[in-house]
Amino acid sequence: MADRSYGRGAAILSLGIGATGLITFGYFSLASHSLSESEYGGITLLWSAVFITVSVLYRPVEQLLSRTIADRDARGVHGHEHLRVAGTIQLALGLLFAVVALALRGPLQDELFNGSETLYWILIVTVLAYAASYFARGYLAGHRRFELYGGLVLMEASSRCLFALAVAVGIAEGQAFTALGMAAAPIVSLAVVPPALARRLPPSRLRNRPDPATLDAAARDEPSASDPALRADAFGTTPRGTSGEPDFTLAHGGGFAAAVLAIMLCEQTFLNAGPLLVKAGEGARGAALAGFVFNVLLIARAPLQLFQAIQTSILPHLTRLRASGQGDPFRRSVSLTLTAIAVFAGGVALVMLAAGPFVMDLVFGGDTDYERGGLVLVSLGMGLYLSAATLNQALLARARAARAAGCWLVTAGGFVVFLLALDAGDRVLQVEAGFLGAALVLCGLLYALYRRG
């Protein structure tokens, strides 16, 4: 039953997020054909800056909510302190961003966006709007409202793409209008939240279901392994009192969020350090070359949109299995996910080997030639990276966020050092090879940590 529940949730999300990935690909394809190389480079840099920031700042709260709600639900714990803690953290992170971004207006506007005031303010508005979006995502995922989660991200991508489409067909024009879609997207997507809150969330199918281990233990008049009095809560703390109510405090929630924040920072380093460092090191042609590198890494980035379906559903699923002591279904879910990723990545690599340059030229146009070998390297790196992300979710479900964060920090640091050390020659190939190598190391470290569990 647990595996079917996870599979159904992942399937529902895959429909919405799979379409989201294609629409996001369409947004950049339309922008690439409608704008000059320099203007398109500005769009990709804005995108990188936005999603580095929101993923690092806000996804920890999404993961915190998803995991905590699932754990409390599986153990029948009630109360709203987890929402207050998560809301406090999210609000503090949003305010921190606003203060830092306003203080660094000069460098951001002049150096990152080449003096564009419009792109700077779009960055501010977009990042602040995503605070509410990611809080809603964590809430919906924890309660397994995957159809609403999928609707939220699909509406976000669709509304953003409409701005690029308007420029492509001539209704509007320019880089600024294309970029404005990024700010509008998270605001429009929140339209799915009021209907979700207007009606009561259905009770979990697990909440009132007796645990078989509990029933067997009760029949023998013995304590159960699932008894809250004998088991630590999701964050490794002992429930207080005799009521089984977990001691969920800002310190506990903040510790988990801090570890995930470090992981998210490393994740964005893998995906965005390449274009940003290329832009910084290539002078006048940096923006155009950064756009080219960004296009190549979309081979890894676009599947991550689809993988969100698995990533979003597997964390609460694995957390519920761990909370109820179901070790075999836990391991089986992870193994099946890794197998599916290997098959998918192998298929993408074969497509890139057979027709990669043709596909990239067709989608993005331009005069730059895409190297077949480099595209295959990124495809293989994508498979290893998705496998690492799966193992990371398993470690978060096991309350090993801090150790997982250590693996990410070591690998991301090595990736950046590699790119900085090799500042001459074929910069695109360096990014492609560095991404594959870093993904391999990261996957190996997380797998070793997972096997020790």
| pLDDT greater than 70 at residue 233 | no
Residue with the bigger pLDDT between 325 and 244: it is: 325
Residue with the bigger pLDDT between 404 and 368: it is: 404
Average the pLDDT over 100-123 and give the result.
Answer: 91
Cβ atoms of residues 344 and 303 within 8 Å: yes
280 confidence band (pLDDT: 50, 70, 90): low
User: What is the model's pLDDT at position 237?
Assistant: 42
Amino acid at position 328, single letter: D
State how far the Cα of 41 lies from the Cα of 283, in Å rounded to an integer.
13
Backbone angle region of 156, left / alpha / beta, with phi > 0 → left and psi within -120 to 50 → alpha: alpha
Sign of CA dihedral 360, 386, 257, 147: positive
Residue with the bigger pLDDT between 44 and 75: it is: 44
User: What is the model's pLDDT at position 236?
Assistant: 44
Quick one: tokens of 27?
């947004």
Interhelix angle 250-281/81-103, rounded to 10 degrees, is 30
Quick one: tokens of 103?
């203080």
| pLDDT greater than 80 at residue 117 | yes
Average the pLDDT over 137-160 and give the result.
Answer: 87
DSSP 381-408: HHHHHHHHHHHHHHHHHTT-HHHHHHHH
User: What is the model's pLDDT at position 80?
Assistant: 78
- Which of 4-13, 44-53, 96-105 ranks highest by mean pLDDT? 96-105
State how far the Cα of 135 lies from the Cα of 63, in Å rounded to an integer.
9
The Cα angle at residue 113 between residues 108 and 114, in degrees rounded to 5: 110
Average the pLDDT over 386-406 and give the result.
Answer: 93
Domain segments of the chain as ranges: 2-199+252-451
Q: Give residues with Cβ within 8 angstroms of 209, minimum separation 6.
A: none
pTM given for the model: 0.73
| pLDDT greater than 70 at residue 200 | no
Average pLDDT of the chain is 80
209 confidence band (pLDDT: 50, 70, 90): very low
Q: Give residues with Cβ within 8 angstroms of 22, minimum separation 6.
A: none
User: What is the model's pLDDT at position 259?
Assistant: 92
Q: Which range, of 8-12, 15-19, 87-91, averages the lowest pLDDT?
A: 8-12
Amino acid at position 156, single letter: E
210 by Cβ neighbours in 10 Å (0-12 / 13-18 / 19+) ranks as exposed
Quick one: tokens of 78?
């009630």
Q: Which range, of 167-176, 198-207, 254-263, averages the lowest pLDDT?
A: 198-207
Residue with the bigger pLDDT between 165 and 293: it is: 165
Cβ atoms of residues 82 and 68 within 8 Å: yes
State how far the Cα of 131 lies from the Cα of 98, in Å rounded to an integer.
12
Residue with the bigger pLDDT between 286 and 329: it is: 329
Average the pLDDT over 334-352 and give the result.
Answer: 90
The owner of tokens 């995957």 is 146
State how far the Cα of 74 lies from the Cα of 70, in Å rounded to an integer.
6
Q: Kindly report the length of the chain.
A: 453
Among the listed residues 281, 332, 270, 254, the one whose alpha carbon sits nearest the alpha carbon of residue 304: 270
| pLDDT greater than 80 at residue 185 | yes
**Up-side HSE of residue 434: CA atoms within 13 Å toward CB?**
29
